[in-house]
Amino acid sequence: QLQASGGGLVQAGGSLTLSCAASARMYVMGWFRQAPGKQREFVSYIIWPSGDPYYTDSVKGRFTISRNNAKNTLYLQMNSLKPEDTAVYYCAGGGYSRTAYYTPLAYNYWGKGTQVTVSS
């Protein structure tokens, strides 16, 4: 259902763009990340069709989420990367839910994850 790509190794201050191809249009699509020894945490999500983006505080001003509805593809442009951004990044998607979209429970579909490593 979801296929994430674009991870890699980058120096602090650098940039990466993650992509996530979906097999169908989804009401909400988001990015979560999980660092070693830590719980999966919310990064960003975006709603269709309004396109309103939401971010966790630690990435505001550095990350930009977007989606191409014609291609059912989600993106995460990550700038000014920091070593603390190092994690496996997961894309997620789902339908309308009363559960807050910054929680993993709101999502029905998950990609396999792509590793992002930021060296200092």
pLDDT in tens, the chain (120 residues): 899 999 999 999 999 999 999 999 899 999 999 999 999 999 999 998 778 899 999 999 999 999 998 899 999 999 999 999 999 999 999 999 999 999 999 999 999 999 999 999
* Count of alpha carbons within 13 angstroms of residue 21, beta-carbon side: 5
Q: Tokens standing for 78? A: 């990550």
User: Cα separation of 79 and 69, whole Å?
Assistant: 23
Residue 69 has a pLDDT of 87
3-state helix, strand, coil in the chain (%, to 5): 10, 50, 40
CB 51 within 8 A of CB 67: yes
Give the largest CA-CA distance in the chain: 40
Residue 98 has a pLDDT of 92
